[in-house]
Amino acid sequence: MNLTTTICEELEDFMKREAMTLHLFAEKSGVNAGTLSGILNGNRPIAIMQLDRITHVMGLPEGSLYELFINECFISAAPHWRRLRPFLLRCAELKKLDCIRAVVSRLLEDLKQITGIFETAELMFEQGWYEAATIMYECVIESERSNHSERLAISYYRIFQIDSIGGYNSIESAIKFIPYRHRLPVNYSLDGLIMLTELYYVYKKWEEVENYADEMIDLTNALYKNQQWHDSDFTLARPLVYYYGRGYLYKAASYDYRRMFEESRRWIAEYADLSWFEGLDKAGWLEVERYKMFAEANLLSVDIKDGKRSRIAEYVQFLEENPSEILEGLITLLESANRYKFFVDEHLEKFAGEIQFYSRINRENRGKLGELKVQYKEPFHTFRCSLFFQKYAIYCFRKRLIKDGVRNTLRSFKHSIKINSKHNIVNSMALFEFYRNYTTKQQRNAYVKYCREVWDYEEEFNEGDYNNSLL
């Protein structure tokens, strides 16, 4: 389509070719004949809903005339947001991202448009049109003059949030967001701190985990003491007690992972009974009960990891009663069994269905997590899966089940790549190399494929580099 033509010219040419009268076209499109006449005569601007109806009658794909619409919008000056915002939202819905980029590039010639861009980005985010929203937020970041602007902080936060929702490697967006976390509205700050603690837990950056967990605890304490959370205009995604408990949960978990079990028990005790929290509603009491359950599970887990095998039967019973904790429980059982040189086959058999489900999770069906009760979502759940398969592979190798061990090693490798967990990637590669002589050609091909995916994460290389390498 020639972009020097206009929508009116395209419409007139179509009506001539099809020998269609104005009234017949109006009837087919559902656009009022008077309105259509005004559009053709240049006396009335065309709205996006009308353009979509016209496009449909002309037999063109959705959005085919959007480039022409953009040209007409900016003939004299920037259009009013009452006309432009519905168009941008429709572009977001249809994933016409180039059209969005074309519009915002023109809008940014006038910095007064930043407010409209930001407000539209927020609407896109609410609808789940994340790619489009990211373009808009990046424009705000590029053009915002005040480094202390709240919308600048929110834009960095949203991009980090979008990366986290998508399960992408969000470390880069996290690093950009961190300097602005204190400039966010408080209700966003708490969720931002949760995302940071989860991300750095995946990367085993324990100092950062503790730092952001402490910030979360301090902020919830401040809100609790000044009663701000009772204000009618103050809203949180979750009850305040959730954030308070989550801070201590992450602190305890960071010590657990480092096998500093006494410190872990100390912090578990901080969220074991939160019934003292004032102003709890139904949702708040549910969180209190959840943390009580977490504390019970994690104390059992810590004891088992600390070598207390006598508590395994109690722990397995707990897992059967709390399916959301099964993945975490299997990691605990395998870690202890591998460290203290015993086997837990009879317990693994009880959760064979869950293990089979984890084995099926991949890039294509990871959205099916809802089929099974799990406590964590992407990317944290993927991290736990990678850890589970790594420990399960070691367990299989100990039992001389080499084929199963290699298979689980590759599963761990695959999950580790999804979240770019370098620590788990290296461990998976080392395990595979230890048993390379026992692998099949198909397994070696899969291993090479995963290695190439790891290579692709390194920005200083391009595709041509590894094609010429030993890979």
In this prediction, residues 129-135 reach a mean pLDDT of 96
Per-residue pLDDT band at 462 (split at 50, 70, 90):
very low
* Residue-wise DSSP of 67-93: HHHHHHHTSSSPPPHHHHHHHHHHHHH
Q: Which of the four pLDDT bands, split at 50, 70 and 90, describes residue 363?
A: very low
Interval 262-279 mean pLDDT: 96
Higher pLDDT, 145 or 362: 145
Is the pLDDT reported for residue 318 higher than 90? yes
Per-residue pLDDT band for 239 (boundaries 50, 70, 90) equals very high
pLDDT digits 0-9 by tens, 383-428 = 889 999 999 999 999 999 999 999 999 999 998 888 888 889 999 9
Q: Which range has the worst mean pLDDT, 104-108, 276-280, 458-462?
A: 458-462
The pLDDT, as a whole number, for residue 359 is: 77
The pTM for the full model equals: 0.84
42: pLDDT strictly greater than 80? no
What's the pLDDT band for 78 if we cut at 50, 70, 90?
A: low
Q: CA separation (Å) from 281 to 134, 238, 346?
A: 35, 11, 42
Structure token pair of residue 414:
């695959």
Among the residue ranges 40-49, 203-212, 291-300, 384-393, the one predicted with the least confidence is: 40-49
Tell me, what DSSP letter sits at residue 27?
H
Res 228: pLDDT:
64
202 CA to centre of own chain: 14
Q: Give yes or no for residue 370 having a pLDDT over 50.
A: no
**42 vs 445, higher pLDDT:** 445
Q: Alpha-carbon torsion 431, 435, 438, 442, what sign? A: positive
Q: What is the 3-state secondary structure (H, E, C) of 167-191?
A: CCCCHHHHHHHHHHHHHCCHHHHHH
CB 136 within 8 A of CB 170: no
Do residues 311 and 300 make contact, with C-beta atoms less than 8 angstroms apart? yes
